[in-house]
C-alpha cells in the first residue's frame, strides 16, 4: 500500500470515528471497540491445560497424547468460549461485521500468548467459505493472523490453503456431523516454497474438526510441523445464536 493511500485511509478512519464514536462491543462505553475493563473480564484459557482431555501439560494447550490425533504439534488458546463475554465478542465480530474489532481481538490474543515456536515459517488463517466471506466482507481468522504477524514477524499466507466447497456452518451441527461436514473442503495450492512449519489460526474451535482437517491437508502437501492458535475454545453458552 502506498504512503498516500495509507494516509488517506488514516484520515478516513479519523473522520469515521468523529461521526460514529467507537463503542465497546460488550458494555457500549465510548472510546474503543473493546474497553480496558471488558478486556480484563474475559476468562483466559489456563496455561498448559489440554483442550481435549483436560490434562495439565507444560507449554501448549494440547498434551502429547492428544496432539497426534489432531495432527498438530502444539495448540495455544486465548479464552474460554463458555464465558458469555467471550462468546458475545466473537458473535459481534462475525455477525455485526466489525472487522476493526477483529484487529483488536487479534492484538489482545497476541499479547496473551507468551511464547510461540521460532521455527514457524508461515501463518495460515483458516479459509472462510467464499460466499460467507463475501457476505461478511472479511475473514475473521485473517484479522487475528495479521496481529500475530506483528507480534512474531512471520508473514501471513492466505494463498496456500483454500476452501473449495461450500457447506453448512459448523456451529449449526453436532460433533459427528461436523466431522463429516468439513471433510474435503480444503485444498493446498502447489508452491515451490512449501513451508515446513506453519501456524494455523482460527477464531473459535469447539470439537477441533476444522483444525484437524486443515492440518491433515497441509501434512499431505508436505508441511511437516503444524501448530495452531485460536482466540477461544469450548462450548458456547446456550443463548448464543449459532448461525455460522
Please, what is the minimum distance in Å from the beta carbon of residue 57 to Zn ion?
Answer: 7
Among 7, 15, 44, 53, binds Zn ion (CB under 5 A): 53
- Helix pair 209-220, 175-182: axis angle to 10 deg: 30
Among 66, 215, 228, 230, binds Zn ion (CB under 5 A): 66
Q: Which is nearer to Zn ion, 53 or 155 (CB)?
A: 53
Please, what is the minimum distance in Å from the beta carbon of residue 33 to Zn ion?
Answer: 9
Q: Which is nearer to Zn ion, 142 or 227 (CB)?
A: 227
Please, what is the minimum distance in Å from the beta carbon of residue 81 to Zn ion?
Answer: 18
Please, what is the minimum distance in Å from the beta carbon of residue 121 to Zn ion?
Answer: 26
Q: Which is nearer to Zn ion, 38 or 143 (CB)?
A: 38
Sorted by sequence, the CB contacts under 8 Å of residue 23 that are 6+ apart come out as 29, 30, 33
Among 7, 11, 27, 165, binds Zn ion (CB under 5 A): 27
Q: Does 211 bind Zn ion (CB under 5 A)?
A: no
C-alpha cell at 193: 516454497
Among 33, 42, 50, 144, binds Zn ion (CB under 5 A): 50
Q: Which is nearer to Zn ion, 71 or 169 (CB)?
A: 71
C-alpha cell at 230: 485460536
Q: Which is nearer to Zn ion, 24 or 116 (CB)?
A: 24
Please, what is the minimum distance in Å from the beta carbon of residue 104 to Zn ion?
Answer: 11
From the list 56-64, 70-78, 137-145, 158-166, the region that binds Zn ion by CB under 5 A is 56-64
CB neighbour class for 203 (10 Å; exposed up to 12, middle 13-18, buried from 19):
buried
According to DSSP, residue 105 is labeled H
| Pairing, β 197-205 against β 186-188 | unpaired
CA 127, CA 137: separation in Å to the nearest integer? 13
Sorted by sequence, the CB contacts under 8 Å of residue 158 that are 6+ apart come out as 124, 125, 127, 139, 142
The separation between the first and the last C-alpha atoms of the chain, rounded to the nearest angstrom, is 32
Binding string, residues 6-25; x marks residues near Zn ion by CB under 5 A: ------------------x-
CA 211, CA 229: separation in Å to the nearest integer? 10
Q: Which is nearer to Zn ion, 57 or 203 (CB)?
A: 57
Across 112-146, b (16+ Cβ under 10 Å) vs e yields bbeebeeebbbbbbbbbbeeeeeebebbbbbbbbb
Q: Which is nearer to Zn ion, 89 or 144 (CB)?
A: 89
- Given the rule CB under 5 A, which residues bind Zn ion? 24, 26-27, 29, 35, 38, 50, 52-53, 55, 63, 66
Amino acid at each position: 500500500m502506498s504512503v498516500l493511500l495509507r494516509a488517506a485511509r488514516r484520515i478516513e478512519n479519523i473522520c469515521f470515528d468523529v461521526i460514529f464514536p467507537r463503542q465497546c462491543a460488550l458494555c457500549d462505553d465510548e472510546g474503543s471497540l473493546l474497553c480496558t475493563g471488558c478486556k480484563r473480564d474475559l476468562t483466559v484459557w489456563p496455561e498448559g491445560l489440554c483442550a481435549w482431555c483436560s490434562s495439565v501439560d507444560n507449554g501448549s494447550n494440547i498434551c502429547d497424547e492428544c496432539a497426534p490425533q489432531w495432527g498438530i504439534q502444539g495448540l495455544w488458546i486465548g479464552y474460554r468460549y463458555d464465558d458469555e463475554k467471550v462468546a458475545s465478542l466473537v458473535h459481534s465480530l462475525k455477525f455485526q461485521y466489525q472487522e476493526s474489532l477483529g484487529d483488536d481481538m487479534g492484538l489482545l490474543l497476541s499479547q496473551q500468548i507468551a511464547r510461540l515456536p521460532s521455527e514457524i515459517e508461515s501463518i495460515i488463517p483458516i479459509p472462510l467459505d467464499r460466499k460467507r466471506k463475501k457476505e461478511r466482507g472479511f475473514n475473521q481468522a485473517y484479522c487475528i493472523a495479521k496481529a500475530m504477524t506483528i507480534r512474531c514477524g512471520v508473514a501471513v499466507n492466505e494463498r496456500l490453503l483454500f476452501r473449495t466447497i461450500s457447506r453448512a456452518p459448523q456451529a449449526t451441527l453436532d460433533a459427528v456431523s461436523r466431522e463429516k461436514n468439513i471433510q474435503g473442503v480444503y485444498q493446498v495450492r502447489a508452491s515451490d516454497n512449501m513451508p515446513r512449519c506453519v501456524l494455523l489460526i482460527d477464531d473459535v474451535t469447539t470439537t477441533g474438526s476444522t483444525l484437524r482437517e486443515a492440518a491433515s491437508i497441509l501434512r499431505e502437501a508436505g508441511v511437516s510441523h503444524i501448530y495452531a492458535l485460536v482466540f477461544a475454545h469450548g462450548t458456547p453458552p446456550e443463548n448464543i445464536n449459532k448461525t455460522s
